[in-house]
Amino acid sequence: MNRYVSGFIVLVVALFALSACQLAKERIAQEEAWIIGVFITSEHLDLIDRTLEGQAIPMRRGRPDFSALFQPGRLYATWDYEVGNFRFPDVEGIQFFVAASPPHVPNETTISHTDPGISGGHTHMRFGDNYRHVEMEGTVLIVPGTSAMAIVHMNPVFQTTDGSVFLTNGSAFSGHGLETEGLIFSTFIEETKTITENGVESTYSTSITINVTSMFAPTKIVLLQMDENSHIVMRTEFAPDEMPQTFYLEADTAYVIIETHRDRPNANERVARELITQNLHNNSQWISTFVAGEDGILVINGTEIIWP
């Protein structure tokens, strides 16, 4: 997955002259807010602040300041009471951020918002009386040649001291024309912000690593149940989008081989195999497979296997 892709130049498209962090710091320089993650989209979000349209052009140093008409705006998230987390309305994308629930929600807590489009990686959190440190890393898998591969937008997400969550436009990267598997690009965002409230200083530190990798979509998933003599007890085949939520193993099954078939000649592995053995402390385990969405993003399918 991380092999170098030779002969292919990745085009990096900067939507703004500043990086995501620099843009964010200018935009919220006078506001108590800190970065908490990213919202990944395959399309540019039109967030230009048009509140000044139709009004007199503001002056700057004695000259009309036309740039004031095109200041980057914000998209605020809403709190979904049914599922208990934040959502950005009317936009399609992949959430990857850690936010505190708003003050009006009982039993305030910190929630990791990680959509199925984020594969692997980790989220580590450390909290103290006057500090919060979050370290996040995740991978987005995209099928080569699909629309999602054209341009990937990294929109930084922020939270304010009053609990509001919003995003702004960020940077964009392109893997257009890529027809092989491998790492396309990796981006890193880091910020440490100290905020003083009622004479008390609190420090918010966040680091985010996003890896975007190309991988061909599976064509079928095969579950091989093997006995203790390595004989096949049962072979079961599924389409990637038909993997069951729960799968019961046969009585003689000693271990399971998961085969992921990708019938592409230039795939790194035409058939990838994973060995699953029984957890002696639990008769159920979760396995993960992938299915491609219409936009070309590979998302995780979770299946619970039940041992006899």
**Domain chopping of the chain, boundaries:** 12-214, 220-306
pLDDT for the residue 1: 40
Rounded to the nearest angstrom, the gap between the alpha carbon of residue 288 and the centroid of all alpha carbons in its chain is 17
Token output for 180: 């092989």
* Cβ atoms of 19 and 12 closer than 8 Å: no
pLDDT for the residue 130: 85
* Cβ atoms of 215 and 141 closer than 8 Å: yes
Token output for 132: 């919060």
User: Which whole-number Å values give the CA distances from 1 to 128, 183, 234, 266, 275, in the listed order?
Assistant: 37, 6, 30, 13, 19
pLDDT for the residue 58: 62
Q: What pLDDT tens digit does each residue of the chain (308 aa) get?
A: 433 333 333 333 333 333 444 444 444 444 588 999 999 998 888 886 555 555 666 666 777 665 555 556 889 999 998 888 899 988 999 999 999 888 888 777 888 999 989 988 899 999 888 888 999 999 999 998 887 777 899 999 999 988 999 999 988 888 777 778 888 889 999 999 888 878 888 898 999 999 999 999 999 999 999 999 999 999 999 999 999 999 999 999 999 999 999 877 777 788 999 999 998 888 999 999 999 988 899 999 999 999 98
Q: What is the pTM of this model?
A: 0.76
pLDDT for the residue 23: 42
Q: Please give the radius of gyration of the chain, using alpha carbons only, rounded to the nearest integer.
A: 23
Rounded to the nearest angstrom, the gap between the alpha carbon of residue 57 and the centroid of all alpha carbons in its chain is 39
pLDDT for the residue 18: 37
133: exposed, middle or buried (C-beta count within 10 Å: 0-12, 13-18, 19+)?
A: middle
User: Which whole-number Å values give the CA distances from 218 to 5, 100, 137, 275, in the listed order?
Assistant: 20, 36, 24, 18
For residue 12, list its beta bridge partners.
173
Q: Helix or strand or coil: residue 207? A: strand
Q: Of 178, 193, 188, 85, give the one whose Cα is nearest residue 138.
A: 188
* Cβ atoms of 38 and 170 closer than 8 Å: yes
Q: Of 232, 224, 206, give the one whose Cα is nearest residue 271.
A: 224
